[in-house]
Amino acid sequence: MNDKHSLRKIIKDSLSELTRPLYEDYSYKIATRLFDDHDWKQANVIGITISKRPEVDTYQIIRKAWEQGKQVVVPKCNPKEKKLVFRTLKGFSQLESVFYGLYEPIEDQTAKVEADDIDLLIVPGLAYTKTGYRVGFGGGYYDRYLTTYSGKTLSLAFENQIVEQFQVETYDLPVSKIITNVEVIYTK
């Protein structure tokens, strides 16, 4: 399947069929695998998005990071420049609803964190190949951010988000691993 627009629709439709119990169960299994991962254990500063269903639940992951004394940084979008800036999150009360019902950090309550200071970046997406390439949500924000980021990367995905192939563009950068509800896929 080469058409990213069609692929996004197919994956979104597939994810919308996940019942709440399966969504919770799969998200928990993914989180458990993540907490056992070497890169997670070594990281002090973790970049992660605030999930919106049907994405893998990141709220439980953020809570665990805080419990383990890790610094959590979440993205703030700059739509004019189509760029991301990560900001420290110390509590969910530091979030506000912005575009499309997404939650982002409130600028005057959070501090900016540079890409070089993030140990592990958990990169969101809709579809992934086993070689680590991803189809995002269409804004290109992470594609641009990854060009300046040199730390560890991984993605969290439900099993049905793994696809055989799609057209990879020259600007696409793969993640190092994908953690699903059934396996950890090492891509490099």
Chain segment 62-94, per-residue pLDDT in tens: 999 999 999 999 999 888 888 999 999 999 999
Joined together, the tokens standing for residue 69 give 């004394």
* Tens-digit pLDDT profile for residues 152-164: 999 999 999 999 8
pLDDT at residue 166, as a whole number: 85
Instruction: Please provide the DSSP assignment of the chain as one string.
Output: ---HHHHHHHHHHHHHT--HHHHHHHHHHHHHHHHH-HHHHH-SEEE-----TTSPP-HHHHHHHHHTT-EEEEEEEETTTTEEEEEEES-GGGEEE-GGG-EEE-GGGS-EE-GGG-SEEE---SEE-TTS-EE-SSS-HHHHHHTT--SEEEEE--GGGB-S--PPPTT----SEEE-SS-EEE--
What's the pLDDT score for residue 1? 46
Tell me the backbone φ, ψ of residue 12, rounded to 5 degrees: -60, -45
* Percent of the chain surpassing pLDDT 90: 72
Phi, psi (rounded to 5 degrees) for 26: -65, -40
Q: What is residue 48's predicted lDDT score, i.e. its pLDDT?
A: 98
Residue 2: per-residue pLDDT:
52
Is residue 156 within 8 Å of residue 56, measured between CB atoms?
yes
CB contact at 8 A, 84 and 107: no
For 30-62, write each residue's pLDDT tens digit. 999 999 999 999 999 999 999 988 899 999 999
Pairing of strands 83-89, 112-113: antiparallel
Percent residues over pLDDT 70 in the chain: 99
Cα angle value 7/15/118 (rounded, 5°): 85
Could you identify the residue written with the tokens 């090492």?
186
Residue 170 lies in a domain: yes
Within a domain: residue 104?
no
**Residue 79: predicted pLDDT:** 82
Is residue 34, in this structure, part of any structural domain at all?
yes
Decide if 123 is inside a domain. Answer: yes
78 is a domain residue: no
Average pLDDT over residues 98-108: 89
Task: Give the count of domains, the chain.
Answer: 1
Range of the domain at 168: 4-72+115-182
Q: Is 150 domain-assigned?
A: yes
State the pairing for strand pair 120-122/95-97: unpaired
State pLDDT tens for residues 14-24. Answer: 999 999 999 99
Distance CA 175, CA 155 (A): 7
Query: Domain containing 170 — which CATH number?
Result: 3.40.50.10420
pLDDT for the residue numbered 92:
97
With respect to residue 126, please indicate whether it lies within any of the assigned structural domains. Answer: yes
Q: How far apart are the C-alpha atoms of 87 and 92, rounded to whole Å?
A: 13
Give tens-digit pLDDT for 136-186: 877 788 988 999 999 999 999 999 999 988 888 877 889 999 999 999 999
Whether residue 90 lies inside any domain: the answer is no
User: What is the distance between the alpha carbons of residues 72 and 82, in angstroms, rounded to a whole number?
Assistant: 22
